[in-house]
Structure 1
Amino acid sequence: MAESYEVVPVAHVVGGRVEPTDDYWGGTRSIIRIDGERFTSDAVKGLDAFSHLEVVFRFHLTDPTDLNLGARRPRDNPDWPEVGTFGHRNMRRLNWLGVSRCRLLEVDGLDLHVEDLDAVDGTPVLDVKPWFAAMGPRGEVSEPEWPSVMLADYYAAPGER
Structure 2
Amino acid sequence: MQEQPFEVVPVAYVVGGRTEPTDDYWGGTRSIIRIDANRFGPDSTKSLEDFSHLEVVFRFHLTDVTDLNPGARRPRDNAVWPEVGIFGHRNMRRLNWLGVSRCRLAKVDGLDLHVEDLDAVDGTPILDIKPWFIEFGPRGEVHQADWTTEMLSDYFAPRHR
Query: Normalised by the size of structure 2, how large is the TM-score?
Result: 0.98
Aligned residue for 2:115, secondary structure, equals strand
Offset at 1:152? 0.2
- What's the counterpart of residue 128 of structure 1? 129
Whole-angstrom CA distance in 2 between matches of 1:14 and 1:80: 35
Paired-residue identity, %: 74
Distance 2:66 2:87 in 1: 18
Find the counterpart in structure 2 of residue 143 from structure 1. Answer: 144
SS at match of 1:65: helix
- Give the Cα–Cα distance (whole angstroms) in 2 for the partners of residues 103 and 130 of structure 1: 10
Equivalence for 1:12: 13
Identify the residue that residue 116 of structure 1 maps to in structure 2. Answer: 117
How many pairs are equivalent? 160
Residue type at the aligned position of 2:109: D
Distance 1:146 1:157 in 2: 21
Flag structure 2 segments of 5+ consecutive residues without an equivalent.
none
* Residues 3-57 of structure 1: per-residue CA shift (max 9 Å, x gap): 1010000000000000100000000000000000000010000100000000000
| Aligned positions of 1:64-79 closer than 5 A | 64-79=65-80
Could you tell me which residue of structure 2 aligns to residue 54 of structure 1? 55
CA distance in 1, matches of 2:52, 2:75: 31
Amino acid at match of 2:47: G
Q: What residue identity is the alignment partner of 2:139?
A: R
Q: Following TM superposition, by how much is the alpha carbon of 1:159 offset from its aligned partner in structure 2, in angstroms?
A: 2.0
The whole-number CA distance in structure 1 between the counterparts of 2:107 and 2:88 is 33
In 2, Cα distance between equivalents of 1:68 and 1:8 = 25
Distance 2:147 2:43 in 1: 43
Q: CA RMSD of the aligned region, Å? A: 0.8
Q: Which runs of 5+ in 1 are unaligned?
A: none
State the distance in 1 between where 2:110 and 2:45 align.
8
> Do structure 1's residue 104 and structure 2's residue 105 form an aligned pair?
yes
* 2:64 corresponds to: 63
